[in-house]
A and B are shown apart, each in its own frame.
Chain A
Amino acid sequence: MTYFNHLDKYAEQIALVDESGADQTYAAILADGDEIAAKIGRRCLVFLNCSNCFESVTAYLGCLRAGVVPVLLSTSLDPALLNDLLDNYRPTFVFGPEAMFRGRDFREVFRFREYLLAATGYEPDYGLHDDLALMLTTSGSTGSPKLVRQSYRNIQANTESIIEYLGISLEDRAITTLPMHYTYGLSILNSHLASGARVILTEASVTDRAFWKLLREEQATTFGGVPYIYEMLKKLRFETMETPSLRYLTQAGGRLDAVLLRELCDICEDKGLRFIVMYGQTEATARMSWLPWERAREKSESIGLAIPGGRFWLADEEIEPIKEPGMVGELVYDGPNVTLGYAESRHDLARGDERGGRLFTGDLAKCDEEGFYYIVGRKKRFLKLFGSRINLDELENLLNREGYLCACTGSDDQLVIFFEGLDEQRAQVELFLSERLKLNRGGFKVRLIQAIPRNEAGKMLYAALPL
């Protein structure tokens, strides 16, 4: 059974606290969530606008408890891209702030605090598989139609595993640093709610004084961060901050620089905190590995060990397991949290499990004698931009569709786009990337190139680009 159907036992506990310090008990959010689900009234698809607020979390729980399938979407999704997703998936309802409905012919059904539930009027011409619990986007705000299909069993297995290795208890209080449509943010929410713990909801970032005030006042015991957040913490001189309630910190969403990791281990040791590095993907629900904090300093390049219930192995070119330590192969993960598969449109939602509990991660890795894994490269062309995965081929296609011929390359947090066009158009490309796709301006560079190098078959030669 899944955790969200067993939360009544925590009824009197406080589940959520928001920026104003207002709180909600488990009993209150379950009652409110169930009311929203009752207005929906049947198993169907719902687009759920995700912000760190009572509305989104309450509706999320209500949907899962009632067997309604939410697609968790970023608040900052561009309206045109949201339209594409609506056309492609035809959800029966949408739930979000009024702005999400502006200019659309949706019928308001119910109002919950600041959010509306609206019926879209789409006639469903597709089925929903019984195992399907929810869907997440593969790349945040770029509006890619590709969604990850997660089952009830996936969510339950990963949540139990995370609670076990992090030792989350009823006493914990997690403060949000990540959005809940993002798999890492969602896993923090799931693992704390399943433990009867408290989640402190805020949209403030660590660079905001309000975040630290809330953290102290509400006595947060933990938060998670992608590499960029930890770079900010270092710059903010986290070591000088008063944070007596904190118990441990987690890090995922990309590889942390080994020097910074060791510095953070020192800072956390001085502050009496545990620092836990983890690795995962949306395709594995959230988490696949964790690095036990006592070993973090000596194994600073490692992603650690597979989480409880999961197993790693390395595949050679023939997909045979590599036995010798130190040899590089594709990292493969077997476990109950491996998701069902992808969806490219609503017609994929009737599909069941296509992976059989095995995920080929696309990362190249090696393993040491003690069984610790190390990522050494990537098989597929993607990079991480401030924690979000950017598929470079998909991005090229998006730019192409807009009429911009580009070759996308670069490294984590530094995307480089070679644009075969005129200097006058460069600003348009930049605008498309920052305004439409919501890519952070400091994260990419658009460079002009006369002709993108290609082989005789017309395939782009990325290695020949003048990086």
Chain B
Amino acid sequence: MNNLEKYNATFIEVFGVTVEQLSDLTFQSISQWDSIGHMQLIASLEAAFEIMMDTDDLMDFNSYDRGKEIMNKYDIKI
């Protein structure tokens, strides 16, 4: 699995969405991505990519697209 596949699979697993929905996903755009879902997403991404995100990045991670940029800061090219 490449990084994009891994990144996508994490969203799909945590939120139960389809791959088609991914590009539009933002924080609170679906009921599953609430604050609880957010922490689960972060925990799952951290586990999948073996990273630890900073508090600032955790709060800035507010969309599927923005998340890709944030992952970049941890040398995860997506």
Contacts and interface: CB of A to CB of B under 8 A. Distances in A.
A5 interface: no
B69 interface: no
Interface string B37-78: 111101100000000000100111000000000000000000
Nearest to B40: A442
B59 A441 contact: no
A166 interface: no
Contacts of B16: 430, 434, 441
B59 A207 contact: yes
B40 to A, nearest CB: 4
Contacts of A206: 35
B35 A208 contact: yes
Contacts of B58: 207, 235-236
Contacts of A440: 32, 34, 36-37
Contacts of A231: 39
A434 B39 contact: no
Given A441-B16, A442-B14, A240 B31 contact: no
A438 interface: yes
Interface string B1-34: 0000000000000111000000000000001101
Contacts of B36: 228, 386, 440, 442-443
B59 A205 contact: no
A2 interface: no
A260 interface: no
Contacts of A442: 14, 36-37, 40
Interface centre among A228, A235, A237, A442 (most CB of B within 10 A): A442
A113 interface: no
A268 to B, nearest CB: 18
Contacts of B31: 76, 434-435, 438
Contacts of B60: 209
Interface string A188-209: 0000000000000000011111
B56 to A, nearest CB: 9
A205 B35 contact: yes
Contacts of B39: 207, 228, 231-232, 235
Contacts of B43: 235
B66 to A, nearest CB: 13
A79 to B, nearest CB: 13
B14 to A, nearest CB: 6
A237 B56 CA distance: 10
Interface of A: 76, 205-209, 228, 231-232, 235-237, 240-241, 386, 430, 434-435, 438, 440-443
The 6 nearest A-B residue pairs measured at CB: A205-B35, A442-B40, A207-B35, A441-B32, A209-B59, A440-B36
Given A205-B38, A232-B39, A236-B58, 13 more contacts: A207-B35, A209-B59, A235-B42, A235-B58, A236-B59, A241-B55, A434-B31, A434-B32, A440-B34, A440-B37, A441-B14, A442-B14, A443-B36
28 contacts: A76-B31, A205-B35, A205-B38, A206-B35, A207-B35, A207-B39, A207-B59, A208-B59, A209-B60, A232-B35, A232-B39, A235-B39, A235-B42, A235-B58, A236-B55, A236-B58, A236-B59, A240-B55, A241-B55, A386-B36, A430-B16, A434-B16, A438-B31, A440-B36, A440-B37, A441-B15, A441-B40, A442-B37
